[in-house]
Amino acid sequence: DIQMTQSPSSVSASVGDRVTVTCRASQGISSYLAWYQHKPGKAPKLLIYAASSLQSGVPSRFSGSGSGTDFTLTISSLQPEDFATYFCQQANSFPLTFGGGTKVEI
């Protein structure tokens, strides 16, 4: 199975801050990497797929980069509605695996 290591597990930030989350795969997954946002009691939401493609309707302050084993999610200017938990997921092969999550909080 492909292990996904995500860091940090939590980050304290303020509105307007630039936030970066990293994800590392235990083996190369090309660009088969997705990022999700999850708020308590809500359905997780796809933000980024194929490592850097923005899902339709997602604000452009979200961006993704990387390939192979190392990936990054960046929020360029944090907005109040962005306080949530973010997960990476390898989309290369079954079993699908997720990073442990990054909680972005004030």
Partner 1 sequence: EVQLVESGGGLVKPGGSLRLSCAASGFTFSTYGMNWVRQAPGKGLEWVSFISSDSSYKYYADSVKGRFTISRDNAKNSLYLQMNSLRAEDTAVYYCTTRSGPGEILDYWGQGTLVTVSS
Binding site for partner 1 (CB under 8 A): 31-32, 34, 36, 38, 41-46, 49-50, 55, 87, 89, 91-101
CB of 18 to partner 1, least distance (A): 24
Full DSSP string of 18-50: -EEEEEEESS--TT-EEEEEE-TTS--EEEEET
CA distance 90 to 25: 8
Nearer to partner 1, 9 or 77 (CB): 9
| Element at 85 (helix H, strand E) | strand 85-90
CB of 4 to partner 1, least distance (A): 9
Nearer to partner 1, 68 or 101 (CB): 101
CB of 6 to partner 1, least distance (A): 9
Are the C-beta atoms of 35 and 27 separated by less than 8 Å? no
Nearer to partner 1, 82 or 89 (CB): 89
Q: Which residue type is seen at 28?
A: G
CB of 79 to partner 1, least distance (A): 21
